[in-house]
Structure 1
Amino acid sequence: MSLLRAFRSKALSSPSGERPSEEALTVATRFGKVAITVRRSVQARRMTLRVRSAARDVTLTLPARTAQAAARDFVQRHVDWIEQRLARLPERIPFVAGEVIPLRGAAHRIEFREGMRGLVRVEPGVRGGDPVIAVYGLPAHGPRRVADFLKREARADLLAASARHAASLGVAIGRVTIKDTTSRWGSCSATGDLSFSWRLILAPPHVLDYLAAHEVAHRREMNHGARYWAHVERLTPDYGRAEAWLKAHGATLHRYG
């Protein structure tokens, strides 16, 4: 995540939990027109530009009473900065034939094949090569079928991991949903419903397992205090390794698809 501050700014989170209001601007760059989400916050003291690598978007945060003309001028003066940050974003890797993507942390090559319409399965690589995600049917439907396959695999792994950790803690969990989030890998509601990013299936298994434990532990403590982390450590004693992997590589999971 890249951040540019005009002078210094205070934290943007509101003690009341209210979300800042949002507007939009557009700026011309060498990459074409770029939409900029404008967020007004009573907590902000200076204008702040942010480029998020996961969402690949640009956000401008303003003090609540800042005139829109001043916001436009601020963005125009920092077009070069925006271009530099956008240029540094990792290249997208689409779900097309020939591309290599990670599945449970291991490289798999995508192949589109005729016949057996709608079937997607993992097959061994040829002569010791990378294993293959074989997608059968019309090539036009291939990218969607790869995405659907990965989401199904993610759901199966996360359901199993969540149930196992819930049994270990002696807690009940609710519905488990799979989404494509950019700001967090998982969440737990007050009623015990769990939500996870499907992209965790791209990470090594110990990372997915840790995120499942992280959210299930909230069924004991809806906070991140010492008792909460004691539950996490009980479920995944080496959770620090998973956190280190996410810090170093988590953003790259958003390159795919």
Structure 2
Amino acid sequence: MLFFQRYRFGRFGLRWNLRATPALREIDLDLDGTAVAVTVRRHARARRTTLRIPSMGAPVVTAPVGMSDAALERFVRGHADWLADKLSRQTPARPFEDGAFVPVRGVEHRIDHHPGRRGTMWLDEDDGQPLLCVAGEEQYVARRVTDGLKRMARADLEASVVRHAAAVNRTVTSLKVKETRSQWGSCTNKGALSFSWRLIMAPPFVLDYVAAHEVAHLVEHNHSDRFWRLTEKLAPQTPEACRWLKQQGPHLFTIGTGG
């Protein structure tokens, strides 16, 4: 985004400086000795300035288009203590590596690397301990775990979506499983659904709720009372699932990172 600055009145009226000034894109802070970069986003529909920290992401400040860089910097620096406190509470990253624990359908599994085995990833058990077994070289462990969990997420989500779509007599045109940071699922007006693959780490009733939530949008393209009644009819544990996602959901974004 570029801004053009008015600079003087001339013989023929108001003139404009056509040399574009790059908009402020980042604000650098020093929080108790830690360098933190706050991403700047200006939005045409923003009516106020907001500061947030996406799950395991960099802080983002969203402001109206007309807000000056100086005012934006003052706003962010005025919330430096709040940022420092929130960032200090973030859960440490848990990379996918041999011996690490990963929740699968809400149950903690230990990653068990088998360099001499063929295949990719499979579930097993050792003396009552659920295992997430991975074959191949060590350098590919993280990728194979991620790919394996994505396949499982897609299978579970497809099963839930098919069931819920049949219940409301609606057609799903496509289903995607991908990495998302701002939402667990989405639904387009054309019936295309997208979900976070990290839902496979949550208990099954949570994944099923998110599937029901997006399918309900095929009927009600809003969050009205009718929408929530339909969602809860499809997924009776909707209230519990919402609480779980609010309390535990952010931690899922710390798993499989930092390696």
> Shorter-chain-normalised TM-score: which range?
0.7 to 0.9
Report how far residue 43 of structure 1 moved. 6.0
Match of 1:123 in 2: 124
Tell me if the contact between 1:22 and 1:40 (Cα under 8 Å) persists in the aligned partners: no
What's the secondary structure of 2:59's corresponding residue? strand
Structure 1 length as normaliser, TM-score? 0.82
| Structure whose alpha-carbon radius of gyration is higher | 2
User: What is the RMSD computed on CA atoms of the aligned residues?
Assistant: 2.2
Q: 1:215 to 1:74 in 2, by over 3 A?
A: closer
In terms of mean alpha carbon deviation, does 186-195 or 35-44 score higher? 35-44
What's the secondary structure of 2:251's corresponding residue? helix
Q: 1:117 to 1:29 in 2, by over 3 A?
A: farther
Matches within 5 A, 1:218-237: 218-237=217-236
State the 4+ residue runs in structure 1 displaced beyond 6 angstroms: none
Quote the sequence identity (%).
43
Matches within 5 A, 1:52-201: 52=54, 54-125=55-126, 127-128=127-128, 130-201=129-200
Query: How many matched pairs?
Result: 234
Report how far residue 23 of structure 1 moved. 2.2
Map Cα deviations across residues 165-198 of structure 1 (whole Å, 9 max, x no partner). 1112221111100111121111111111110010
Tell me if the contact between 2:56 and 2:90 (Cα under 8 Å) persists in the aligned partners: no
Report how far residue 76 of structure 1 moved. 4.2
Query: What residue identity is the alignment partner of 2:82?
Result: W
Q: 1:32 to 1:253 in 2, by over 3 A?
A: same
What's the secondary structure of 1:98's corresponding residue? coil
- The whole-number CA distance in structure 1 between the counterparts of 2:188 and 2:205 is 23
Query: What residue identity is the alignment partner of 1:184?
Result: Q
- The whole-number CA distance in structure 2 between the counterparts of 1:247 and 1:46 is 24
> Unaligned stretches of 5+ in structure 1?
1-20
- The whole-number CA distance in structure 2 between the counterparts of 1:239 and 1:67 is 43
- The whole-number CA distance in structure 2 between the counterparts of 1:103 and 1:96 is 15
> Unaligned stretches of 5+ in structure 2?
1-22
Map Cα deviations across residues 190-226 of structure 1 (whole Å, 9 max, x no partner). 1111100101100000111111111111122212223
Higher strand fraction: Structure 1 or Structure 2? 2
